[in-house]
Chains A and B, each alone.
Chain A
Amino acid sequence: QVQLVESGGGVVQPGRSLRLSCVDSGFTFSTHPMHWVRQSPGKGPEWLAVISKDGNNQDYADSVRGRFTISRDNSKKTLYLQMDSLRVDDTAIYYCAREGMDSGSWGYFEFWGQGSLVTVSS
């Protein structure tokens, strides 16, 4: 069974950086695109970024493009989110999610991590 475990969250001042990690305990990490999704307190989820299976292609939501960088190390079965120039409104629970691929379907999240809380505050 796939298990995604995030780490790296915490309290950080505005303007500073933080890097989140997401480790996949399964055996098929390198065969699936991976995403980051966040959820601010009391709000719905917000899609942030996606990275291809081989790590060569990434796409970002407008809200984080240019500040956040998604990357992966398939040898370590680990997904990363480098967050720079953090703002107060980046405060949220950050989830990594594995994209499913089934019978021609794609672009959905079959597995989610438990989430990592990032609080941006002075």
Chain B
Amino acid sequence: QSALTQPASVSGSPEESITISCTGTSSDVGNWNVVSWYQQHPGKAPQLLIYGVTKRPSGVPNRFSGSKSGNTASLTISGLQSEDEAEYYCFSYASGGLYVFGPGTKVTVL
């Protein structure tokens, strides 16, 4: 199965903006607008932040946004807050009925 790549860690100061990348291939991220992003705090189940590459569910703060260019999807957090310190995972359809998660990015608020 295909694999997605994410930076292991990203950090930023409060109110700064950070971007997490999720790089796949033309078989997954590049070929389908079926990319979603999840936030996970320790001991909790992941929570949906972004779906359909750019859509934000109701209740998710608008400082979270998603985009895609070619085989790389991105999650941007604008105006970083202390409660955003967590692990972030991208997820994509990978053709043939299969799906794949990225390895995760740990976000640290300095």
User: Which of A44, A62, A113 is most buried by chain B, counting CB atoms within 10 A of its CB?
Assistant: A44
What are 23 inter-chain pairs, A to B, with CB distance below 8 A?
Answer: A45-B38, A45-B40, A45-B46, A45-B91, A45-B101, A47-B101, A61-B1, A100-B51, A102-B51, A102-B52, A104-B52, A105-B33, A108-B51, A108-B91, A109-B48, A109-B91, A110-B48, A110-B51, A112-B45, A112-B46, A112-B47, A114-B45, A115-B45
Decide: A109 and B38 in contact? CB cutoff 8 A.
yes
A46 at interface, CB cutoff 8 A: yes
Q: Mark A47-71, 1 if CB is under 8 A from B, else 0.
A: 1001000000101011000000000
B30 at interface, CB cutoff 8 A: no
Decide: B45 and A107 in contact? CB cutoff 8 A.
no
Decide: B101 and A44 in contact? CB cutoff 8 A.
yes
Chain B interface residue count, CB cutoff 8 Å, equals: 28
20 more A-B contacts (CB under 8 A) besides A45-B40, A107-B36?
A: A44-B87, A44-B89, A44-B103, A45-B91, A46-B101, A47-B91, A59-B96, A95-B45, A102-B55, A103-B52, A105-B34, A108-B34, A108-B36, A108-B48, A108-B51, A108-B91, A109-B36, A109-B91, A110-B48, A114-B45
